[in-house]
Amino acid sequence: MAAEAAALDEDATVALADSTEMQERQKEENMTVDLEAPPPAAPEDFAIRCRDVCRSYSKLKVLSHLNLTVPQGQIYGLLGPSGCGKTTLLKCIVGTLKISQGHITVLGRPPGFPGHDVPGKKVGYMPQDLALYSEFTISDTLTFFGRVHGLTAKETRARMDFLIDFLDLPQKQSLVRKLSGGQKRRVSLGAALLQNPELLILDEPTVGVDPVLRAKIWQHLVEIVKTGKVSVIITTHYIEEARQANVVGLMRNGHLLAEGPPDEVMKQHNATTLEHAFLQLCQTHDQVDSKRGSSPQGALLENSQSFESGRDESRPILAIGAGAEEEVPKYSVDWKVRARHLLPKWRNIVALMIKTLVRMKRMPGSLCFQFVLPVIQISLICLCVGGDPRGVQVAVVNNETSPSAYSLTLLSFLDNTSVQQVPLSHTEAFDGIQNGEYWGVIGFGKNFTSYLTKRMMQRQVSREVVDGGSVHVWLDLTNRQIALMLQKKLHEAFQDFVDNKLGSMSYLVSLPVKIEEPIYGDENTDFTTFVMPGAVLSITFYLAVGLTALSFVLERKEGLLDRCWVAGVSSMETMLAHLLSQLFVISVQIVLLLLFILLAFNMPNEGSLVLVIILIVLQGVTGISFGLVISAAIDDEQSANQAALGVFYPNLILSGIIWPVECIPYPLRYLSLALPQTYASEALRCIMYRGWGLSQMMVWRGFAVTLGWNTFFLVLATVILKLRT
Ligand SMILES: Nc1ncnc2c1ncn2[C@@H]1O[C@H](COP(=O)(O)OP(=O)(O)OP(=O)(O)O)[C@@H](O)[C@H]1O
C-alpha cells in the first residue's frame, strides 16, 4: 500500500498543475451536492450509520468526527491508504472497539445492544488478520463457527460444501496450517459467509487471491445483495475493483473525504478512474490542510473541523442520508432481554470447549507432556528434596588400637549409607576438612573405652574422664542439612551402642528428656513429607497458570478473540469455556499426581481422599483463573510469561511450602497468610497427616481462602476482558 500511495503521490504532482481551477469548481459542486442531499431516510434504509465517530489509540487520533452510511442491501467499498483507519472503523462497527465519541447504528441498533445479534449471527466478519485456528482443518473451522451461530450440523455441512466449491478450497480435512496464504484467506472468508449473515464486513478479503477468484468473490457479493436483505462493507487495496460496489467511501487520516456511487464520485472529479478521483480528493484535502496550517485562523478552523468553504469536514462531500447534527436515537430494552443478554449461552461454551479439545487432540505430544509433567515434578521433589544425604565422607581419627575397643563398636552402628567413614591420622583429617574433602571429623581418644566404661559405671568421675570418654566431632557447618544429619546419625549410633552394651540397663545413661510417642505423624517423618502437600498444590497451580496464561494472549494476537466476539461469544463464555476445558487437563494431572504420591512414594493419607482431591482441583482452578487474569490483562507473550514466572518464586517462598511460615518475619507473614496457597497447604497437611475433616478450622479455612481467590480472579479476568473490548 505504501508503494501504491507513493505512486499516487507522483501522479498527484502532475494532476495538481492543471487542476487547481477544476478543484475550485468541484468544491462548489460538492457544496451543491451537499445542499441537495436527500432528506434523512428511515433507519431501516441503512445497514450501518456512523455519526460523528471518534476513536484514538492513546494520543493517536485515528477516527475524527467520521460520518459513514452503508445503505441497506448494497455493497459499500471503503477505500483509503494504509493506516487511514479503515480497520479501526470496522472494529468499531462490529463492536470490538469502543468509540470515544459519536454513535454507530448497525442493522437498526448500536453494536452490542442487549438482544441485538450484532455482534452475533447477523454479522459475518472477515478480519484483516487471518484469525484462524491453525491446528483446525477447514471442516473444524466452519463447524466451530456453525456451532457458535447455532446452525444445525446439516446446515453447516450444506454451507461447507457450497463454500468449499465456491471458494475453490482444498479438501475439507486439510489442516489450516498447511494451506497457502491465499487459501487461508479464502477459508477466513468462508467462515464470514457461513451463516448467510445480513451484514458482511470484509477487511481486505481479496488480498492474495488470484484475479479469477477475485472476480468470482465480487460476483457473489453482487448476487447476495440483489435480494436487498444483505449488505456488505468491504475494504480493499485494489481501488478499481471497488467500482463494482454500489457506494464507495474514500477515507484519509481518519476522515471520510467522499461517499457516493463510484460513477458519481468519478464524475464529480472529472476522473476516469476511482484512483484518480481519490487522488484529487486527497489533494483538495491537503491544500485545505496547508491553508489551514498557514492561516492565522488555523487553530479556529482545526477546532471547528471545517473546510475553507465552511463545509463540515467530517461530512462526506457526496452525502447519502442524514448529517451529523441529527438526533441520537434512543433505544430501550426489556429487562428480560437484558438479563438473557448477560447470561452465558451454553451453546457457545460447548462450542468453545470442543474447539479447545480439538486443538489439544491435534497436539498429542504437547497434551501427553502436560499430563506427565506434574508426575515428573513431584517425583523429582520426592526423590531429591528432604531425604537424608547419602555417602557423606567423614574422617575418623581413632586413637584406640584394640580390636575390642568401644570406639570400633560405636562406629559399626553408624549408618554406612549416609556416612562414609575414612580412617585417617589427626593431621590428614584436619587438612582434609580444611580443604573441603570431608564434612566432619570424628575423634576418639586413646582411652575412650576405659573412660566411657568409668563414666557409665561410676557415679562421680573427673572432667578428664568425661572428656576422654566422649566422641569428639568437628563439623563443616556450611551445609546445615548435612551437619544436622551427621549429628542425628551420631546420636542414633550412640543410642544403639548403649543399648547393645548395657541392654536393659541402658536407661541409666539416657538423657533426662524423654520424647514420647508422636501424637500425629511418624518418628521418622522426613522433610519430604512436610514439603509434599504444598508442592502438590504449587505444581497444580503453576501448571494451570502455564496452561492458561498464554491462551488469550495468543488468540488476541492472532485476531481469534475478536473474531469469536463478533460471532457473538461473550467474555464470560470465553472464560467459562477455558475454565471447563482446562479442568479436564488438570483432572488427569491430579489423578496421576495422587497415584504417584500415594502409591509410588507411599506418602501417608490419614484423611478423606475426596477432600484431598477437591482441594487440589480447587487450587488448579485458582491457577487457571490467575492465568486468565494474566491473559486478559497482557498483550504480548513475553510480558505474560514474565508475569507468570515473576509470581512463581515469591509465592513459593511466602506460602510456607518449602520452609515453615513460622519462620517468616512480620509483617511479611500477613502477606504470606493472604496468599492463595498458604492456608491451602496447611489444610492439605492437616487432612493428609492429621486425618482432619472440614469441621476443623485449619481445614475449612484452606478451602474458603481458595474459593475466595477463585472468585476474585475469575471476576477480575472477566472485567478486564470486558473493559478491553
Ligand atoms: N492497537 C493499536 N494500538 C495503537 N495504534 C494502533 C492500533 N491499531 C492501529 N493503530 C494505528 O491506527 C492507525 C490506523 O490503523 P488501521 O489498522 O485502522 O489502518 P488501516 O486503514 O486499516 O490500514 P491498512 O490498510 O494498512 O490495514 C495506524 O496509524 C495504526 O498504526
Query: Where do runs of H (alpha helix) occur along 269-345?
Result: 274-294, 298-304, 335-342
Q: How much distance in Å is there from the Cα of 84 to the middle of ligand 1?
A: 7
Quick check: 31 pLDDT over 60? Answer: no
Cβ burial, residue 13 (10 Å; 0-12/13-18/19+): exposed
Out of 64-73, 393-402, 452-461, 688-697, least confident range: 452-461
Out of 61, 66, 88, mutate this one to test ligand 1's pocket (max ligand atoms within 8 Å of CB): namely: 88
Secondary structure element (H or E) that encloses residue 500, with its range: helix 480-502
Question: Which residues have C-beta atoms less than 6 Å from ligand 1?
Answer: 1, 57, 60, 62, 80, 82-88, 128
Quick check: 725 pLDDT over 50? Answer: yes
Residue nearest to atom 19 of ligand 1 (CA): 83
Give the atom of ligand 1 at the shortest distance from the alpha carbon of 80. Answer: 21
Q: Which of 682, 695, 693 is nearest to 619 (CA)?
A: 682
Out of 62, 68, 79, 128, mutate this one to test ligand 1's pocket (max ligand atoms within 8 Å of CB): namely: 62
Sorted by where each begins, the domain ranges of the chain are: 2-122+197-324, 346-383+527-723, 392-506
Q: What angle do CA 603, 606, 610 make, to 5 degrees?
A: 95
How many residues in total does the chain contain?
725
Same fold, 2-122+197-324 and 392-506: no
In the chain, what are the helix, strand and coil shares in percent, each to the nearest 5?
55, 10, 30
Residue nearest to atom 8 of ligand 1 (CA): 88
**What pLDDT score was predicted for residue 12?**
39
Give the atom of ligand 1 at the shortest distance from the alpha carbon of 251. Answer: 21
Q: How much distance in Å is there from the Cα of 85 to the middle of ligand 1?
A: 6
Q: What is the rounded CA–CA span in Å between residue 306 and residue 238?
A: 30
Q: What angle do CA 257, 261, 264 make, to 5 degrees?
A: 85
Q: What is the rounded CA–CA span in Å between residue 144 and residue 199?
A: 20
Quick check: 340 pLDDT over 60? Answer: yes
Interface TM-score (ipTM) > 0.85? yes
Whether 530 contacts 386, CB under 8 Å: yes
Out of 133-142, 647-656, 714-723, least confident range: 714-723
Give the atom of ligand 1 at the shortest distance from the alpha carbon of 90. Answer: 18
Q: What is the rounded CA–CA span in Å between residue 396 and residue 76?
A: 93
Q: How much distance in Å is there from the Cα of 672 to the middle of ligand 1?
A: 44
Give the atom of ligand 1 at the shortest distance from the alpha carbon of 58. Answer: 4
Q: What angle do CA 601, 605, 608 make, to 5 degrees?
A: 140
- In sequence order, the β-bridge partners of residue 444 are 398
Q: What is the rounded CA–CA span in Å between residue 573 and residue 552?
A: 13
For cell 473493559, the residue is 723
**In this predicted model, what pLDDT tens digit does every residue of 466-487 receive, in sequence order?**
999 899 999 999 998 899 999 9
Quick check: 211 pLDDT over 60? Answer: yes
Q: How much distance in Å is there from the Cα of 192 to the middle of ligand 1?
A: 22
Query: Where do runs of H (alpha helix) occur along 113-259?
Result: 138-148, 153-166, 181-193, 211-226
Give the atom of ligand 1 at the shortest distance from the alpha carbon of 85. Answer: 18
Q: Considering the chain, what percentage of its residues have pLDDT values greater than 70? A: 88
Q: How much distance in Å is there from the Cα of 309 to the middle of ligand 1?
A: 30
Give the atom of ligand 1 at the shortest distance from the alpha carbon of 84. Answer: 21
Cβ burial, residue 478 (10 Å; 0-12/13-18/19+): exposed
Quick check: 543 pLDDT over 70? Answer: yes
Residue nearest to atom 3 of ligand 1 (CA): 57
Q: How much distance in Å is there from the Cα of 65 to the middle of ligand 1?
A: 17
Residues 6+ apart with CB under 8 A from 381: 528, 531, 532, 535
Residues 6+ apart with CB under 8 A from 243: 262, 274
Whether 567 contacts 710, CB under 8 Å: no
Whether 194 contacts 145, CB under 8 Å: yes
The mean per-residue pLDDT over the stretch 176-183 comes to: 89
Residue nearest to atom 5 of ligand 1 (CA): 57
Q: How much distance in Å is there from the Cα of 89 to the middle of ligand 1?
A: 10
pLDDT grade for 116, boundaries at 50, 70 and 90? confident
Give the atom of ligand 1 at the shortest distance from the alpha carbon of 237. Answer: 25
Query: C-alpha grid cell for residue 151?
Result: 446452525
Whether 338 contacts 57, CB under 8 Å: no
Quick check: 612 pLDDT over 90? Answer: yes
Quick check: 608 pLDDT over 80? Answer: yes
Out of 60, 207, 233, 234, mutate this one to test ligand 1's pocket (max ligand atoms within 8 Å of CB): namely: 60
Residues 6+ apart with CB under 8 A from 135: 175, 176, 177, 358, 359, 362, 363
The mean per-residue pLDDT over the stretch 134-154 comes to: 94
DSSP codes of every residue in 677-713: THHHHHHHHIIIII---TTSHHHHHHHHHHHHHHHHH
For cell 457450497, the residue is 162
Residue nearest to atom 24 of ligand 1 (CA): 82
Out of 26-35, 56-65, 689-698, least confident range: 26-35
Out of 59, 61, 64, 86, mutate this one to test ligand 1's pocket (max ligand atoms within 8 Å of CB): namely: 86
**What pLDDT score was predicted for residue 44?**
62
Residue nearest to atom 28 of ligand 1 (CA): 83
Q: Considering the chain, what percentage of its residues have pLDDT values greater than 90? A: 45
Q: How much distance in Å is there from the Cα of 60 to the middle of ligand 1?
A: 10
**What pLDDT score was predicted for residue 140?**
94
The mean per-residue pLDDT over the stretch 546-560 comes to: 81
Query: C-alpha grid cell for residue 528?
Result: 519430604
Residue nearest to atom 6 of ligand 1 (CA): 57
Residue nearest to atom 13 of ligand 1 (CA): 83
Q: What is the rounded CA–CA span in Å between residue 169 and residue 138?
A: 9
Residue nearest to atom 20 of ligand 1 (CA): 83
Quick check: 701 pLDDT over 60? Answer: yes
Q: In terms of DSSP bridges, do strands 101-106 and 46-57 run parallel, antiparallel, or are they unpaired?
A: antiparallel
Q: What's the CATH code, domain 2-122+197-324?
A: 3.40.50.300
Give the atom of ligand 1 at the shortest distance from the alpha carbon of 128. Answer: 27
Q: Which of 208, 223, 52 is nearest to 126 (CA)?
A: 208
Secondary structure element (H or E) that encloses residue 330, with its range: none
Whether 205 contacts 185, CB under 8 Å: yes
Q: How much distance in Å is there from the Cα of 257 to the middle of ligand 1?
A: 18
| Sheet containing strand 46-57, strands side by side | 60-71, 46-57, 101-106
Residues 6+ apart with CB under 8 A from 539: 374, 377, 378, 593
Whether 146 contacts 196, CB under 8 Å: no
Quick check: 688 pLDDT over 90? Answer: yes
Q: How much distance in Å is there from the Cα of 61 to the middle of ligand 1?
A: 10
**What pLDDT score was predicted for residue 97?**
87
Out of 57, 96, 724, mutate this one to test ligand 1's pocket (max ligand atoms within 8 Å of CB): namely: 57
Residue nearest to atom 1 of ligand 1 (CA): 57
Out of 87, 100, 251, mutate this one to test ligand 1's pocket (max ligand atoms within 8 Å of CB): namely: 87
Residue nearest to atom 27 of ligand 1 (CA): 82
Q: Which of 711, 703, 710 is nearest to 611 (CA)?
A: 703
Out of 92-96, 555-559, 612-616, 710-714, least confident range: 555-559
Whether 509 contacts 502, CB under 8 Å: yes
pLDDT grade for 537, boundaries at 50, 70 and 90? very high
Q: What's the CATH code, domain 392-506?
A: 3.40.190
Q: Which of 42, 37, 40, 128 is nearest to 89 (CA)?
A: 128
**What pLDDT score was predicted for residue 301?**
33
At 77 the three-state DSSP class reads: strand
Q: What is the rounded CA–CA span in Å between residue 685 and residue 708?
A: 20
Taking all residues of the chain, what is their mean pLDDT, rounded to a whole number? 84
Quick check: 320 pLDDT over 90? Answer: no
Whether 436 contacts 409, CB under 8 Å: no
Q: How much distance in Å is there from the Cα of 88 to the middle of ligand 1?
A: 6
Residue nearest to atom 30 of ligand 1 (CA): 83
Cβ burial, residue 265 (10 Å; 0-12/13-18/19+): buried
pTM (predicted TM-score)? 0.74
Q: What angle do CA 631, 637, 641 make, to 5 degrees?
A: 80
Q: Which of 464, 469, 466 is nearest to 450 (CA)?
A: 469
Q: What is the rounded CA–CA span in Å between residue 565 and residue 353?
A: 15
Residue nearest to atom 18 of ligand 1 (CA): 85
Give the atom of ligand 1 at the shortest distance from the alpha carbon of 254. Answer: 14
**What pLDDT score was predicted for residue 41?**
52
Quick check: 39 pLDDT over 70? Answer: no
Q: What is the rounded CA–CA span in Å between residue 55 and residue 62?
A: 6
Cβ burial, residue 325 (10 Å; 0-12/13-18/19+): exposed
Residue nearest to atom 16 of ligand 1 (CA): 85
Quick check: 296 pLDDT over 50? Answer: no
Question: How many Å is the maximal CA-CA distance in the chain?
Answer: 128
